[in-house]
Structure formats: C-alpha cells, structure tokens
Amino acid sequence: MSGNEWETDDYDDNHGFVYEYGASVVELLDPQPGERILDLGCGTGHLTKEIAARGADVLGIDASAEMIETASEEHSDLDFRQADARTVEPDGEFDAVFSNAALHWIPEADHDAVLAMVEEALAPEGRFVAELGGTGNIQQIATTTIDELAQRGYDATQPWYFPSIGEYTPRIEEYGMEVSRAILFDRPTELDDGARGLENWLGMFGDSIFEGVPEHDQRAVIEAVEDRLKDDLFDAETSTWTADYRRLRFVAERSDGL
Ligand code: BEZ
C-alpha cells in the first residue's frame, strides 16, 4: 500500500469526518444480527464498532500497525488484526465485506489481488459494499500540490487510485460478483481546524507526496498550495477549508451460477 505514517490521535481528533461520513456506507451495508462481516481498512475502528453495534460479528483489518493498535485499545471487545488486503487469507466465509475510504490507498495494479481475496472471503450470495475516492477526487488539492513540488524540482506523483464507475465495476465483476449499484458523486468535505485545515490534511495524508522533501520546502509548497486554492476552497467568513472529495460507492453480490 502507499506508505503513510498514521498519527492515530490526530486522525481521530482532526479528521473524524472520514468515519462520520462512513456511517452512511454502514447504512448501505445494513448489517444484520449474527452476520459475519470483514471490515477492510478499518482504521481506528469507529465503523467496525458501528457494524458490531448492529449485532454483527465483525473482524477489522488494516495494514497499519498503528491503526490496529489504536483500534484494539479503543474497542477492546472487538476483533482486529493487522493484515494487508492484498495478501490476507480470509479465515472462513463472510456474509459481507465492507470498506470505507481505504481502497484508494491500494495501487491500481494491486486491486486484482484485493478483489480475488474478497471473492474468496464471501459466502455464496455474500455482498461487497464499499466507498473509495472516485475519479476526480481531491483533484485540485493533488494536482496543485504536485505542480508546486515539480516547480521546486521534486518528482512527486499521485499515490492514490481513484477509479471511475466504468473502470472499477468491470474489475469487480471479473471476480465472481455482480454490481447492483454504483454511484460517483461530489462530496465537498469541510476540514477541521479552521485556517489550518488544508495544512493539517496534507500533513495527515500526504506522506508519500512529500517523501524526501525537506521541511522548509514542504512548508513553502503548502503555503503556495493554500494561496492558489484559497479562492476555490477556502471560506474566509467561516475560516473553513473544503476539500474537493468525490466518492465512488458500490454494492456487489457474489454471483455464482449466473
Ligand atoms: C479520501 O478519503 O478521499 C482521501 C483521503 C486521503 C488521501 C486521499 C484521499
């Protein structure tokens, strides 16, 4: 997965919108009492907890040891495991696989491994319900940051995978699932912490873009990005940054025998 070092306190305190918005993906999942559910990329476990609160038996996995440590401390009654979605071997069958805001961290070429794992994990008629950044997600933030880095001689590339419906749903269907719903939508997302919102966001999520860039150049890039984006993404009256999120959300079911 694209490397990011996770400060889990900062993640929970200042980026709570990640799981707050994810609550509606849990609604779409509609977990039922007694169902066995795999939460892929569970982070600090807030949505794992919501799924468990519906009476489901849920396993949260995340590639980040820091995330799993925090999730296990905060929700000690739940089951979490550090595991990479590309290589984990699912133990037994799951009624559903769920994922919120995690799949875009996995490089495009590795999604076949993930989808093969989901197919293997799902019971017959099991469902895969997920949301990730979709095509055009955080386009202004990412392209402006990469451009400012390039102007200073750094060769940064976009580390995330933000597919379109037309690109991703056939990939899912190659792995024994039928996509019954898919939607791509703009979801402008207000960032926490007022005028520092964009800087914090880049600090939390931009590790791989800024890898190898000295602190003073990072500072200069962030200031330049803020300057270029403030007309579009900053509301001076409320002192709020809004990130240009776009989401791809889908529901697919195992389609054996179709
Ligand atoms: C997202 O949830 O869309 C996202 C979060 C961090 C980095 C890139 C995208």
DSSP string, 64-123: -HHHHHHHHHHTTTSEEEE--TTT----S-EEEEEEES-GGGS-GGGHHHHHHHHHHHEE
Residue 32 resides in a domain = yes
Q: What is the distance between the alpha carbons of residues 249 and 230, in angstroms, rounded to a whole number?
A: 29
Residue 223 resides in a domain = yes
Compute the mean pLDDT over every residue in the chain, rounded to the nearest whole number: 94
Residue 3 resides in a domain = no
Give the residue carrying structure tokens 């007022």: 194
Q: What is the pLDDT of residues 126-155, one digit of tens each?
A: 999 999 999 999 999 999 999 999 999 999
Q: What is the pLDDT of residues 1-50, one digit of tens each?
A: 446 776 787 767 767 776 777 789 999 999 999 999 999 999 999 999 99
Q: What is the pLDDT of residues 201-253, one digit of tens each?
A: 999 999 889 999 999 999 999 999 999 999 999 999 999 999 999 999 999 99
Q: By alpha-carbon position, which residue is closest to atom 2 of ligand 1? A: 101
Nearest-5° angle of CA 43, CA 23, CA 243?
A: 75
The per-residue pLDDT for 6 is 66
Percentage of the chain modeled with pLDDT above 90: 88
Residue 246 resides in a domain = yes
Closest among 131, 143, 155 to 248, alpha carbons compared: 131
Candidate of 140, 145, 160 to mutate for ligand 1, largest count of ligand atoms within 8 Å of Cβ: 160
The confidence band for 258, taking pLDDT boundaries of 50, 70 and 90, is low
Q: How many domains does the chain have?
A: 1
Q: Residue 256: pLDDT above 80? A: no
Domain range for 73: 8-254
The per-residue pLDDT for 257 is 57
Candidate of 99, 137, 143 to mutate for ligand 1, largest count of ligand atoms within 8 Å of Cβ: 137
Residue 2 resides in a domain = no
245 lines ligand 1 (CB under 6 A): yes
Q: What is the distance between the alpha carbons of residues 183 and 247, in angstroms, rounded to a whole number?
A: 8
